[in-house]
Each structure stands twice: as structure tokens, then as C-alpha cells.
Chains A and B, each alone.
Chain A
């Protein structure tokens, strides 16, 4: 069974640009969450999507947005990039439903560097 796939693995962007990251969850999983990991702040929750609807959002500015498609694949977009957006972006999928175990499985991440 394939795991969570994130693309691309590495990105270098210039301040002011925008970027789109992609996440394909485990087959059958409908919940996709995004996290930002930095040395200073650790892992912080960005948002969660379930069946194409955003269910939760973390405390990040509106420059961070996302969406989920009917096949559960998700994308996150960061506009007007800042140096502080440099981080490892991790996607997690789970079968989180009313009665599921909700075990989270993570992808390998996308390393974004803003210069």
C-alpha cells in the first residue's frame, strides 16, 4: 500500500513569489492535514481538509491557503513568500472519521527555501 506522497521534495523560491505544494494521501484516507516544521517553532498545524472541506485552520496568515480535490489529493499554496516561510512542510493523512482510529501517516515533506 503506497504511503503519503509529497511533491516536490525540495524547492527554492525568491521572496515575493508564490508556491504550490502537493500531497497525495494513502488510498482511502479522506483527511489531509498540513504542518510547518521549523527549528525555532517545531511542528505547527496549518490546516485540515476532509472531503474537500477545510475543517480546521491553524494560526497562520491568509497567505497560506489550501484545497482538497475529489480524489482526496491536497495542495497548499503560499503567496508573497517571506524569508520566514523557509521550512519543512509536512502532509499527514488519516482515515479520521467518526469512528476511525485516526492514526496519522506523514509524507517525506517538502523542503522550501526562500531566498
Chain B
């Protein structure tokens, strides 16, 4: 099992450019989560999907952020246009059931995004 796979590992882009982050969850997991981690705010949930359907996107900071999950094995987080304050590490995580009592909540290695 390769775990949750994220790409790219690092992304440096200029302000105003579009950025797309990718995630492949663990096969069989039906929940997928996107998190953002910064020094100031720690880990924050942006959005999560259940069976490819977005359930709650209340953590998405603004309309510049969008996420899709076209199938059970792939999800994207897009920022358009990007701004310097979007610089952070973005994590994808997946789980095979609801979180309650379940320790099968696996994070990817993250994408470090730098917007200059």
C-alpha cells in the first residue's frame, strides 16, 4: 500500500497564477479530506468528500479555492488566482469510514506551496 499520494511535493508559483494540487487516496477509502497547515494557524480542514461528493466546504477560505473529486482515486485542489498568503503546506488525507473510533485516517506527505 503506497498510502495517500500527493503531487507535486513542492510548488513555487507567481502571484496570480493558477495552482493545482493533486491527491490519490488509499484504495477503498471513501472519505477524502484537504487540509492546510501554516505556522500561525496549524492544521485547518478546507473541505471533505464522501464517496466523491463534497460534504462540507465551509473551511475553504474564499472563492479562489475549489476542489473536485471526479472519481474514487483522484482529487484536486485548485487555487485561482494564487496569492502570497496562500503559501502553506497542503495535506490530503483519506479514511475508510467515518472518523468516529476509527484510526484509519491517513495523511499524505503534503504539498509545500510558495506563492511569490
Binding between chains A and B: no
Binding site for B on A (CB under 8 A): none
Binding site for A on B (CB under 8 A): none
